[in-house]
Each structure stands twice: as C-alpha cells, then as structure tokens.
Amino acid sequence: MAEVHFTSWLRQVVPDGPLRAEGATVGDALGALFSERPHVRGYVLDEQGRLRKHVCIFADGVRLPHQVALGHGIRRESTLYVMQALSGG
C-alpha cells in the first residue's frame, strides 16, 4: 500500500499520519483514504472532486502537474506527499 504523508498544516485533520492507502492512481489511493476518513476529503478536493487549486501532490519525489495529479499512476510502494502549494499564500 502506498504511504500518504500530509503537510503538518493538516495535523489537526490528520493527526496520525502518514497513512496507508491502496490504489492504482493517486486519485484512487486518496479516494480509499477518504472513504475511511470522509472529513479529510474536503481539505484536499473541492466539492466537485477536483484537487484544490492550492494543494500539490508529490509522488515518489516528483511534484505532479496539478491537472493530472489525481490520474497519476502509482506503485504499491509509492510514497505520496499532500502539501500546501505556496501559491496559496
């Protein structure tokens, strides 16, 4: 299962990270994680299911382009970081 780390800014929302999640893509892994912790979803995705404008995701050390981040393929041993994009202030 992929290991999902969250920015320390979200420590109140995900106090016990990193978490583990199964999925063939970033979106699948996050979706599995949100099904267990529904309140985390709205911090990462907007209500239309899009990655929030000022959230960025790193997969195995690479910052993913925003538009394709959720569809990015990952491996079972991948490491993801969900971070605040500094564009957000």
Residue among 17, 32, 34, 84 that touches another protein (CB under 8 A)? 84
Say if residues 11 and 88 touch (Cβ distance below 8 Å): no
Please give the C-alpha separations between residue 30 and each of 1, 21, 58, 75, in angstroms, as whole numbers.
12, 7, 13, 14
String of contacts with another protein for each residue 5-44, x by CB under 8 A: ----xx--x-------------------------x--xxx
Q: Tally the residues of the chain.
A: 89
Retrieve residue 64's tokens: 């993913």
- Do β-strands 79-84 and 55-59 pair in parallel, antiparallel, or remain unpaired? antiparallel
Size of the site for another protein (CB under 8 A): 18
Stretch in the footprint of another protein (CB under 8 A) among 21-29, 51-59, 60-68, 72-80: 51-59
String of contacts with another protein for each residue 53-82, x by CB under 8 A: -xx---------------------------
Residues facing residue 81 across a β-bridge: 5, 58
Interacting residue ranges for another protein, rule: CB under 8 A: 9-10, 13, 39, 42-44, 46-48, 50, 52, 54-55, 84-85, 88-89
